[in-house]
Amino acid sequence: MTVPFQVDLTNKVAVVTGGSGVIGSYFAKALAECGAKVAVLGIDIDKANQVANEINESGGRAIAVNANVLERGELEQARGIIEEDLGTCDILINCAGGNNPRGTTDDEFYDIEAVKNNPDMKTFFDLDPKGIGFVFDLNFLGTLLPSQVFAQGMIGKKGSCIINVSSMNAFTPLTKIPAYSGAKAAISNFTQWLAVYFAKAGIRVNAIAPGFLVTEQNKNLLFNKDGSPSSRTKKILDSTPMGRFGEPEELLGGVLFLVSEQAASFVTGVVLPIDGGFSSYAGV
């Protein structure tokens, strides 16, 4: 992987939650390529080790750390390991998150006749409160708790920053996924709140809002079992002026801009869409 441009992150310590995932691993590798020492946090230590090993084999510096972003005790333990090995955190990327079928409806619009003809259809009325809570906690608390733990070491450090991962759902909620949409809207709001809170403490807080990428978590919504595009995919691409899905590496330019003290020293509280024009298009 080659970064789109270089920023100098020499001697910076970066923590990437969800760093063993597809998108998080791209962030971890890009930060390392720019000179940062990277802690790859994940609940799957084998996958986290794989990412860290790839970074080290490419000449970077990385360690894998096992931590659940919903468990403060595990995050604090991870912080101790990171500080002992790499130093205190300068850059926190809150990339852990995702959706769950328990927070997803089968229907886009409530249709009385359709429900009568298909009593097994999962509508808004059938959503599992625990499933909703899981999705919200994973995304919102999974951003708030790491920020609480790692920002303690950032106070007063020049160039410190936090980057959260919001979504297009935060601007306009998508059908079928109310829990995920609500959680991402909360992350955008929290990004602005935390930016104000830390403005005098030397920590910038921003977010990126990716458009549509194909991931393990959403591919069942985007493609049929035979691999053909679903009707939802057609709607998405018709609503994206660039007419295609994004690629994980296309998020890197925005992330590197936001972490760069030289480029973005006066940028805080921003939620940056990286969406192929989706958020700008009214459909007509």
Interval 159-180 mean pLDDT: 94
Mean pLDDT computed over every residue of the chain: 95
Q: 15 with 82: CB under 8 angstroms? A: yes
Does residue 7 lie in a domain region?
A: no
Q: Which tens digit of pLDDT belongs to each residue from 37-73?
A: 999 999 999 999 999 999 999 999 999 999 999 999 9
Interval 177-205 mean pLDDT: 97
Shared-domain flag, residues 131 and 227: no
Q: Which tens digit of pLDDT belongs to each residue from 233-248?
A: 999 999 999 999 999 9
Shared-domain flag, residues 122 and 232: no
Q: Is the pLDDT confidence value at 15 over 90? A: yes
Q: Which of 26, 110, 180, 281 is catalytic?
A: 180
What range defines the domain where residue 34 resides? Answer: 13-211+249-274
Does residue 282 lie in a domain region?
A: no
Interval 18-29 mean pLDDT: 96
Task: Tell which residue, 88, 93, 27, 86, has the closest CA to residue 61.
Answer: 86
pLDDT of res. 266: 97
Does residue 281 lie in a domain region?
A: no
Shared-domain flag, residues 151 and 177: yes
In the residue annotation, 110 being an active-site residue is answered as: no
Interval 135-161 mean pLDDT: 96
How far is residue 179's CA from residue 220's CA, in Å, rounded to a whole number?
Answer: 17
Q: How confident is the model at residue 198 (pLDDT cuts 50, 70, 90)?
A: very high
Shared-domain flag, residues 35 and 91: yes
Q: Is the pLDDT confidence value at 220 over 80? A: no
Q: Who has greater pLDDT, 283 or 199?
A: 199
pLDDT of res. 52: 98
How far is residue 131's CA from residue 228's CA, in Å, rounded to a whole number?
Answer: 28
Interval 246-262 mean pLDDT: 96
CATH of the domain at 185: 3.40.50.720
Shared-domain flag, residues 22 and 124: yes
Alpha helical stretches, state H, 137-244: 142-150, 178-197, 219-222, 231-238
Shared-domain flag, residues 119 and 69: yes
Shared-domain flag, residues 66 and 194: yes
Q: What's phi and psi for 54, nearest 5 deg?
A: -65, -40
pLDDT of res. 120: 92
Domain count, the chain: 2
Shared-domain flag, residues 95 and 234: no
Does residue 2 lie in a domain region?
A: no
Does residue 3 lie in a domain region?
A: no
Q: How confident is the model at residue 230 (pLDDT cuts 50, 70, 90)?
A: confident
Interval 170-179 mean pLDDT: 93
Shared-domain flag, residues 101 and 228: no
Q: Which tens digit of pLDDT belongs to each residue from 73-128?
A: 999 999 999 999 999 999 999 999 999 999 999 999 999 999 999 999 999 999 99
- Counting residues of the chain whose pLDDT is more than 70, the rounded percentage is 99
Does residue 6 lie in a domain region?
A: no
Interval 247-276 mean pLDDT: 97
- H/E stretch holding 101: none
Q: Is the pLDDT confidence value at 218 over 80? A: no
Does residue 284 lie in a domain region?
A: no
Q: Is the pLDDT confidence value at 221 over 80? A: no
Does residue 1 lie in a domain region?
A: no
Shared-domain flag, residues 230 and 115: no
Shared-domain flag, residues 233 and 132: no
Shared-domain flag, residues 241 and 267: no
pLDDT of res. 59: 96
In this structure, of 29-38, 42-51, 171-180, 209-218, the range with the lowest mean pLDDT score is 209-218
3-state secondary structure of 203: strand
